[in-house]
Amino acid sequence: MTTHLKRHLLAFLPFISLLVTLTVTAVEPPKGFPEPLNTKNFKEELSKGLHIIDFYSPYCPHCKHLAPVWMETWEEFKDEGKKLNITFSQVNCIESADLCSDENIAFFPDVRLYNPSGYLKSFTERLKTKESLIAFARKESMDPDNLDIDLGSVLSQSQHLEGFDFIKLIAGKADRPYLVSFWPTKNLKDSDDSVNFENCDKCHEFQRTWKIVSRQLISEDIKTGHVNCESNPTLCEELGFSDLVKITNHRGDREPKVALVLPNKTSNNLIDYPKGFSVKSKDYVDFARRTFANSKFPNITREDLITVNRRIDFLKEKGPSYNNDIHLVFSYDPETVVTEDFDILEYLIEPLSKIPNIYLHQIDKNLIDLSHDILESMYEKINYNTSEAQKNFNEEYFTMNTVTQLPTFFLFRDGDYVSHVYPGYSTTEMRNIKEIMRWVQKYSNPLATEITSSNLREWMSFQTESYSNLAIQLVSTGSDKQIKGSNTLIRKLLLASFDYEHVRMEDNFEQINDKRTNKADSIKLLKEKKAPADKVVDKMREEIPHIDNNKLLLGYLDVSKERNFFRRFGIIGDHKVGDVIIIDKSNNFYYTKDNFGNTLTSNEPLLLREAFVSLNIPSKALYSSKMKGRLMNSPFHNAFSFLDIVHQNGIYGYLCIIILIIMILKSLSLYKKYKIRKHYRSKRNAVGILGNAEKKKNQD
């Protein structure tokens, strides 16, 4: 059946392509639209900045389809492109066949990114639209890896290390930190060498990354080195990189590995780069810089932390550093601390290296009053609406949540008014690395985190028992002006979330108080009933569980970079900068409209807060919840619930359901008939066979 269909389609293919060719008529190029580049001017043109180049043939149907899109894109982007130093260009591969063969063009149209030193990457999105091309241009123009243009003339700073050199480093002979890469070859002396890597598709690209990393780390006083695994098989196997020693399959999926050696230490000094393989130099530079910094447990001052809640510009206009760091502070009393108390810090370096953005510090002070003051200042912020009842700081709840002794850990996040205290009641808790890390993990999300197509699933499953919803602010970073506006949007989202946080804390407080009252009541009851003493004591010992759920996870999505996000996750409708999407992490329902059916946006922080409350703590909501969710990727493109159909369509809804039920029953009865038929048929067959056998027997 399907092959039949395919054959039919194939027969029509020439007609379809003819149709496409006929409908795509030549479009007049806009004024000033440049001639295609050619062999003569290609190199010179490239030297002027970044280029996105469409390698095409005037005869290929897809190229003809792309042509008007390309012109429009060029026209719309040319001014912005001048600012960003990136140009849309073309090469006609029929006229400049040599050039295209030099550039290894294998199909048309091939859209690629170049910088002055040559090919960088291909544009791989299937749909080549004006929007997707411009999004690509913006994203790539901001990527420091592409901007680093004079690479051709600079040498890699990475040192070639033999196995024994590396062993010396981990034996404590390193006086500087070393970031070391491991390669599936024995021929890489200089890390720039042109080497034939086997089964490692990414190796060549990674050489470029490594050169940039080696140069950027010079200013951090971090050295770089590289090891040939095929020449040092035992070492690489010991390190767990045995796939770099020999080829075990026929795929090209071997990837270089990276690890950091910390200086002047003989133990806990080798830290693997924890994330999956990446070709972004920034990832390795950040990892090395942050892990080295953490390994020194630097002092931090109270003054540094006082401003933490004011660091709210999550999107920086230029450069890679965001203000969404997390600060883990070891706080001790210099009078009572003992040297062993500091040992725990050593064991934190490695697990912390796996969490992006987290910085470790120490301070010889108790930070409880700082935590208190910062949280108290939140109330100035959320009492912005004079027609609402005054919201008050709850001293009792704060005290309940900050019971600890020193030393302990405090955790502050940039932009956050709420800080966290590790319940370090005694040395038992303070020396339990697992418990400490479990506690850190719970707050290891930056206050507002960038959501992308590739990390959405990860954040959806982040600490599900504490965080029930993910609220995503749509932002855009196409220009400085948009970045400014987007920072304002994130600030409004934060305002709504702090306002919600107050409701959430009050609700938690009430729940805990209810439990306390219940406990007191049952103890009283036991005593009255003259229950045995051990029963009463057991009840008294019973701990009231710490309640800290219904939290919000906050994120922002850059729509100028993430064109396919909504389609990919089946979030339907139009979504624009300023809108907020709330996703229920427990069931993948998402919400784009508030209680009144208006689009959720951070421009109305009060309504946004109400949406948060309605979804998580309905008993505290001002309006009864009429919020309608849709299931992500639902084929029904609507709420996946019969009740909802009825709710929206009244009597017709019931009709729909009845028809649906009839259809189901019908298909069931068809199935039953089919089964009966099948049953009889098999009987007949069996009889037939037996019959034959019978006959045969009789004949014998």
User: Contact positions toward ligand NAG, by CB under 6 A?
Assistant: 48-49, 85, 116, 149, 175-176, 263-264, 299, 364, 385, 387-388, 606
* Beta carbon of residue 252, minimum distance to ligand NAG (angstroms, whole number): 32
* Beta carbon of residue 402, minimum distance to ligand NAG (angstroms, whole number): 23
Type and span of the H or E element at 42: helix 42-46
DSSP per residue, 663-694:
HHHHHHHHHHHHHHHHHHHHHHHHHHHHHHHH
Specify the residue, 147 or 400, whose C-beta has the smaller distance to ligand NAG: 147
* Beta carbon of residue 667, minimum distance to ligand NAG (angstroms, whole number): 51
Specify the residue, 150 or 528, whose C-beta has the smaller distance to ligand NAG: 150
* Beta carbon of residue 564, minimum distance to ligand NAG (angstroms, whole number): 29
Type and span of the H or E element at 475: strand 467-475
Distances (CA, A) of 143 to 134, 138, 140, 149, 564: 14, 9, 5, 12, 20
> Is 86 within 8 Å of 52 (Cβ atoms)?
yes
Specify the residue, 85 or 357, whose C-beta has the smaller distance to ligand NAG: 85
Distances (CA, A) of 574 to 197, 473, 478: 46, 14, 19
> Is 444 within 8 Å of 591 (Cβ atoms)?
no
> Is 179 within 8 Å of 210 (Cβ atoms)?
no
* Beta carbon of residue 129, minimum distance to ligand NAG (angstroms, whole number): 26
Specify the residue, 203 or 271, whose C-beta has the smaller distance to ligand NAG: 271
CA quadruple 451, 455, 460, 466: dihedral sign: negative
Specify the residue, 86 or 236, whose C-beta has the smaller distance to ligand NAG: 86
Q: How many CA atoms lie within 13 A of 607 on its CB side?
A: 17
Say whether 159 sits in a helix, a strand or coil.
Answer: strand
Cα 545–Cα 411–Cα 390 angle in degrees, nearest 5: 70
Q: What is the SS3 assignment for 339-361?
A: HHHHHHHHHHHHHHHCCCCEEEE
> Is 261 within 8 Å of 174 (Cβ atoms)?
yes
Specify the residue, 324 or 473, whose C-beta has the smaller distance to ligand NAG: 473
Contacts for 229 with CB less than 8 Å, ≥ 6 apart = 182, 183, 184, 185, 235, 236, 241, 244, 245
Q: What is the SS3 assignment for 564-608?
A: CHHHHCCCCCCCCCCEEEEEECCCCEEECECCCCCECECCCHHHH
Specify the residue, 173 or 484, whose C-beta has the smaller distance to ligand NAG: 173
Specify the residue, 489 or 553, whose C-beta has the smaller distance to ligand NAG: 489
Specify the residue, 261 or 352, whose C-beta has the smaller distance to ligand NAG: 261
* Beta carbon of residue 329, minimum distance to ligand NAG (angstroms, whole number): 12
* Beta carbon of residue 141, minimum distance to ligand NAG (angstroms, whole number): 10
> Could you tell me which residues are beta bridge partners of residue 92?
56
CA quadruple 429, 433, 439, 440: dihedral sign: positive
Q: State the chain's maximal CA–CA distance in angstroms.
A: 108
> Could you tell me which residues are beta bridge partners of residue 421?
410
Tell me how far apart the alpha carbons of residues 116 and 130 are, in angstroms, rounded to a whole number: 24
Rg (CA), the chain: 32
> Is 627 within 8 Å of 611 (Cβ atoms)?
yes
One-letter amino acid for residue 450 of the chain: E
Specify the residue, 318 or 541, whose C-beta has the smaller distance to ligand NAG: 318
* Beta carbon of residue 380, minimum distance to ligand NAG (angstroms, whole number): 16
Sheet holding 420-421, edge to edge: 358-363, 326-331, 408-413, 420-421
Tell me how far apart the alpha carbons of residues 58 and 249 are, in angstroms, rounded to a whole number: 41
Specify the residue, 98 or 388, whose C-beta has the smaller distance to ligand NAG: 388
* Beta carbon of residue 595, minimum distance to ligand NAG (angstroms, whole number): 13
Specify the residue, 168 or 176, whose C-beta has the smaller distance to ligand NAG: 176
Q: What is the SS3 assignment for 86-125?
A: EEEEEEECCCCHHHHHHCCCCCCCEEEEEECCEEEEECCC
Of the candidates 286, 554, 229, the one whose C-alpha atom is nearest the C-alpha of residue 416 is 554
* Beta carbon of residue 388, minimum distance to ligand NAG (angstroms, whole number): 5
Specify the residue, 437 or 606, whose C-beta has the smaller distance to ligand NAG: 606
* Beta carbon of residue 602, minimum distance to ligand NAG (angstroms, whole number): 12
* Beta carbon of residue 34, minimum distance to ligand NAG (angstroms, whole number): 17
Specify the residue, 234 or 387, whose C-beta has the smaller distance to ligand NAG: 387
Specify the residue, 157 or 383, whose C-beta has the smaller distance to ligand NAG: 383
CA quadruple 56, 57, 58, 62: dihedral sign: negative
* Beta carbon of residue 530, minimum distance to ligand NAG (angstroms, whole number): 53
For residues 389-418, one letter each, b for 16 or more C-beta atoms within 10 angstroms of the residue's C-beta and e for the rest, the string is: eeeeebeebbeebbebebbbbbbbbbbbbb
Specify the residue, 173 or 457, whose C-beta has the smaller distance to ligand NAG: 173
* Beta carbon of residue 84, minimum distance to ligand NAG (angstroms, whole number): 9
Tell me how far apart the alpha carbons of residues 445 and 387 are, in angstroms, rounded to a whole number: 34
* Beta carbon of residue 75, minimum distance to ligand NAG (angstroms, whole number): 21
Specify the residue, 605 or 629, whose C-beta has the smaller distance to ligand NAG: 605
Sheet holding 110-115, edge to edge: 86-92, 50-56, 110-115, 118-122
Helices 533-541 and 480-528: crossing angle, nearest 10°? 170
* Beta carbon of residue 4, minimum distance to ligand NAG (angstroms, whole number): 56
Six-digit token string for 81: 């492109």
* Beta carbon of residue 299, minimum distance to ligand NAG (angstroms, whole number): 4
Exposure of 541 by Cβ count < 10 A (0-12 exposed, 13-18 middle, 19+ buried)?
Answer: exposed
Specify the residue, 279 or 606, whose C-beta has the smaller distance to ligand NAG: 606
* Beta carbon of residue 349, minimum distance to ligand NAG (angstroms, whole number): 14
